[in-house]
Chains A and B, each alone.
Chain A
Amino acid sequence: DVKVTQSSRYLVKRTGEKVFLECVQDMDHENMFWYRQDPGLGLRLIYFSYDVKMKEKGDIPEGYSVSREKKERFSLILESASTNQTSMYLCASSLRWGGSGSKFYNEQFFGPGTRLTVL
């Protein structure tokens, strides 16, 4: 089974702190994603990466950065946490290419989420 793990389920930080959220997947997926999910706003893409050291901005990258030094690991960094970054953060991964007959055909597999509270 595909497994995506996130370093923490719950995290409480203070305004101005630097925050690291770690995500690891064990299925050799090329694509990795960071989303945040807020009530009434649904799922929003922050950043994604399609290869080691490659990164692309999603819909709401402001206030965030990412790092992908190894294929299995994708880190989300809040350089200076603010209260409006209180949210559920979800990491996902997927194969870069799926083929006909492949079980993994553009599905994304999610981690359990990190609920971050910034005070």
Chain B
Amino acid sequence: DAKTTQPTSMDCAEGRAANLPCNHSTISGNEYVYWYRQIHSQGPQYIIHGLKNNETNEMASLIITEDRKSSTLILPHATLRDTAVYYCIVRVGLSSGGGADGLTFGKGTHLIIQP
């Protein structure tokens, strides 16, 4: 079962920052927050992950609250191509199985970028 809660859908104007929230109140100390997205009819795409510090890469920024019970994915300048379903998941960063464990996605947030 997914251990995260996300809004079902969100709209954002093109060129504005898109802020996608995620609640993960039962996160464990060794679990990371990962974000993936899936554009219609394509495979999921990894975006970013973090443990407790804020993270930034070429795609997005991840802000994690100090108590780690929630986080926000920020797309700084959303474009129409960012329209997708965004999945927030929590999982261990380095599992005892060497990472060979399946991903479980919840329903995610359908982000619609408006022109």
Contact = CB atoms under 8 A, between A and B. Distances in A.
From A110, A113, A115, name the one whose CB has the most chain B CB atoms within 10 angstroms: A110
B43 A110 contact: yes
- Interface of B, secondary structure class, is loop
B24 interface: no
A4 to B, nearest CB: 8
Contacts of B104: 42-43
A106 B105 contact: no
Q: How large is the interface on A (under 10, 10 to 19, 20 to 34, 35 or more residues)?
A: 20 to 34
Given A106-B32, A112-B43, A43 B105 contact: yes
A106 B43 contact: no
A58 B107 CA distance: 20
Nearest to B102: A45
Interface of A: 4, 30-31, 33, 35, 42-43, 45, 48-50, 56, 58-59, 90-92, 94-99, 105-113, 115
